[in-house]
Structure formats: C-alpha cells, structure tokens
C-alpha cells in the first residue's frame, strides 16, 4: 500500500527529517524557474500551493515581512532564523525539515495534514528567491544561538535587533 509506505517514510529520520522527494523536486524546479525568469511564475505558485497547502500562503506572508535571517559563521556554517507571526524566533537547519513550532508538532508529525510548516517553507523559499538577511556571527555566537534554540530560550533573538 502506498499510503502505509508514505507513513513509514515520514516517521523515519525523526532526528534529521527530509522533505519527501516530491516536495524536494518541486522546490528544485521552482529554484530553476526563479533563476530563469527572475520571479516565480503563476504555474510555480500554483504547484507550490497545491503541494504544501495553507502553510505555503503563510510562508509567503513571512517572506514579505522579511522575517528570515541567516546567521553565518566563518567556514560556511549557518543556521536560519524565522520570526513567527507571534514574534517567536524559530531556529532551523538548512534543508532540514524540522521546526520546533506547534504547527510542526501537531499538523506535520501528528496528524500529517501538511508536509511541513510555514517556517521551514519560508526558510527554503527565502533561499530560492534570495530574500533573507545575512548576519555574520562568530562560531561562539553560532553555538550560543543553537544552545538558545535547544533551551527554547529567546536570547538569540536579541542578535537580530
């Protein structure tokens, strides 16, 4: 059964979850479209919406509000921070389908209504359309951001201000 296979693949890799292949491929296609046209075409937007649903609409809102920042340390290591609609910063790893938000926990892992949450999608879309803010940090600061994210501490958000 296709459905049960899908369930199994979603539940594996809980440590470093990846987007299902279909989503990954669509995002790569959208990336190419953006490079060719300098914008997202209507077809690309429709395809994204039909695959990701309402989190896609909300991700676009986050993009428009410039809620995405990249904390880049020497050596190319970086994390992405997305400020949610309530002002809470969510720290995400590049290309990893995991977010500590409630929607991810309940609608992605729990009910599996959506493939991912608006924050993960906003982070990926920001990379595609080159829209996030770059913030240079030291390796120590990057570690601090990760610790803060791990402790659900909000001190890392002060680096954004």
**Contact positions vs Zn ion (CB under 5 A):** 99, 101, 104, 117, 119
Give the other-Cβ count within 10 Å of 129's Cβ.
14
Comparison of 74 and 94: residue with beta carbon closer to Zn ion: 94
Q: Which neighbouring-strand residues pair with 82?
A: 68, 90
Give the strand pairing for 133-136 and 78-83. unpaired
CA distance 103 to 114: 9
Closest distance of CB 82 from Zn ion, Å: 7
Give the strand pairing for 68-72 and 133-136. parallel
Closest distance of CB 55 from Zn ion, Å: 8
Closest distance of CB 148 from Zn ion, Å: 17
Closest distance of CB 78 from Zn ion, Å: 18
3-class secondary-structure state, position 68: strand
Comparison of 17 and 119: residue with beta carbon closer to Zn ion: 119
Comparison of 37 and 105: residue with beta carbon closer to Zn ion: 105
CA distance 46 to 48: 5
Comparison of 52 and 104: residue with beta carbon closer to Zn ion: 104
Q: How many residues does the chain have?
A: 161
């Amino acid at each position: 059964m296709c459905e049960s296979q899908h369930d199994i693949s979603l539940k594996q890799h809980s440590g470093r979850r990846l987007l299902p292949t279909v989503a990954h491929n669509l995002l790569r296609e959208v990336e190419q479209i953006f490079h060719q046209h300098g914008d997202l075409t209507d077809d690309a937007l429709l395809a994204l919406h039909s695959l990701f649903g309402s989190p896609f609409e909300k991700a676009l809102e986050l993009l428009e509000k410039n809620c995405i920042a990249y904390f880049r340390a020497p050596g190319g290591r970086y994390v992405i921070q997305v400020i949610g609609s309530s002002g809470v910063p969510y720290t995400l790893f590049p290309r990893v389908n995991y977010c500590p938000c409630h929607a991810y926990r309940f609608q992605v892992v729990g009910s599996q209504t959506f493939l991912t949450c608006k924050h993960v999608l906003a982070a990926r879309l920001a990379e595609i359309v080159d829209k996030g803010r770059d913030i240079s940090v030291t390796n120590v600061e990057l570690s601090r951001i990760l610790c803060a994210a791990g402790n659900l501490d909000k001190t890392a958000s002060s680096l954004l201000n």
